[in-house]
Amino acid sequence: MSEIKGKVLKHSEQTRTMHWVHLICFIILGLTGIAFYFDIAGIVNLFGGEAAASDVHHWTGVIFTLAPLVYVLFNFERFAKFIDTITTFTKDDLGWLKTMGGYIPFIKAEHIPPQDKYNAGQKMLGLLVIAGCILMIVTGFPMWLLKHSMPPVLVWLTWKIHFWTAVILILAVLGHFFLAAIHPKSRVEFASMMIDGYVDAEYTSHHNAKWFAELKKAE
Ligand code: HEM
Ligand code: HEM
């Protein structure tokens, strides 16, 4: 177990880099996308006008697509483990969902069951982000490159899916940002993805008890 001065490594450098790249792309795509939809000249001009903002959206979309592919290519085992974790739901995860991990003030949470590397809420966010990003990509490229050769109904459909998936993803990421950076109970894990990769070992032994036990066993 990679432990220094009471801390354990939760996210590797490559994972953190990939998360930063996706986060920056997401902000640019979200801002330009909102500007197109609501016709916000202030944001469009920030990106150099209508044509340039459209180019920025498209080419950021290319990086947004390639970054995870390159990451998976070089980190296949790590990615497979991530998928395995976020698709495994046991009675402990259901127990977490019943109490919402104690994050919601009016939901009683006397006992929060032990969690994996990601709690049940994070698992659901992970699945939503992956499904949402795939939908943005498989609609975005045809909207860009096949707009004039697709039947009008397909153009309409891809546009609708792209827009409504963007709305859901932006709301989900706002919730994720609140929990990761602002909520006093969960923001203690901020540095694990945004800075050096480490989390407090004592905190993790309670918060992610199953994963911590796995690390101890592998030691
Ligand atoms: C999280 C990622 C993304 C978000 C939040 C996002 C958001 C948006 C939004 C809100 C719109 C306006 C939709 C409308 O007018 O109804 C839009 C348009 C568009 N998006 Fe995205 N998008 C994302 C990813 C992508 C990707 C990966 C591509 C592929 C290159 C792409 C290509 C396009 C295209 C072609 C348009 C039509 C406007 C134009 O041609 O400039 N988007 N996007
Ligand atoms: C807005 C600023 C953001 C902040 C401050 C942030 C912060 C974090 C932190 C601290 C973690 C680690 C949580 C843990 O180990 O327990 C994390 C995980 C993760 N982040 Fe972000 N993130 C942001 C934006 C995004 C965006 C834009 C995406 C994707 C579109 C994303 C996708 C993920 C995923 C899939 C995970 C792993 C699963 C999970 O924790 O739910 N994040 N993020």
Looking at residue 166, its pLDDT comes to 98
The ligand whose atoms approach the alpha carbon of 148 most closely is 1
Measured CA distances, 22 to 173, 181, 189, 209 (Å): 12, 17, 19, 28
Confidence band for 109, pLDDT divided at 50, 70 and 90: confident
Which amino acid is it at 196?
D
Residue 31, ligand 1, Cβ within 6 A = no
pLDDT more than 90, % of the chain: 89
Which amino acid is it at 119?
N
Residue 64, ligand 2, Cβ within 6 A = no
Higher pLDDT, 105 or 136: 136
Q: Is residue 179 one of the residues assigned to a domain?
A: no
Q: Is residue 169 one of the residues assigned to a domain?
A: no
Residue 135 has pLDDT above 90, yes or no: yes
pLDDT more than 70, % of the chain: 98
Residue 1 has pLDDT above 80, yes or no: no
Report how far ligand 2's centroid is from the alpha carbon of 152 (Å).
36
Q: Is residue 218 one of the residues assigned to a domain?
A: no
Q: Is residue 142 one of the residues assigned to a domain?
A: yes
Residue 118, ligand 1, Cβ within 6 A = no
Q: Is residue 170 one of the residues assigned to a domain?
A: no
Provide the number of structural domains found in the chain: 1
Confidence band for 40, pLDDT divided at 50, 70 and 90: very high
The model's pLDDT over 177-189, given as tens digits with 9 standing for 90+, comes to: 999 999 998 999 9
**Cα distance between residue 175 and residue 49, in whole Å:** 31
- Domain with 73 in it: 13-164
Q: Is residue 114 one of the residues assigned to a domain?
A: yes
Q: Looking at beta carbons, which pairs linking 93-102 to residues 24 or more positions away fall under 8 Å?
A: 93/119, 93/120, 93/123, 94/120, 96/120, 96/121, 97/121, 102/185
Q: Is residue 174 one of the residues assigned to a domain?
A: no
Residue 4 has pLDDT above 70, yes or no: no
Residue 3 has pLDDT above 70, yes or no: no
Q: What are the two backbone dihedrals, phi and then psi, of residue 19, each rounded to the nearest 5 degrees?
A: -65, -40
Q: Is residue 99 one of the residues assigned to a domain?
A: yes
Residue 23, ligand 2, Cβ within 6 A = yes
Give me the CATH number covering residue 31: 1.20.950.20
Q: Which of 81, 61, 60, 93 is nearest to 15 (CA)?
A: 81
The model's pLDDT over 189-215, given as tens digits with 9 standing for 90+, comes to: 999 999 999 999 999 999 999 999 999
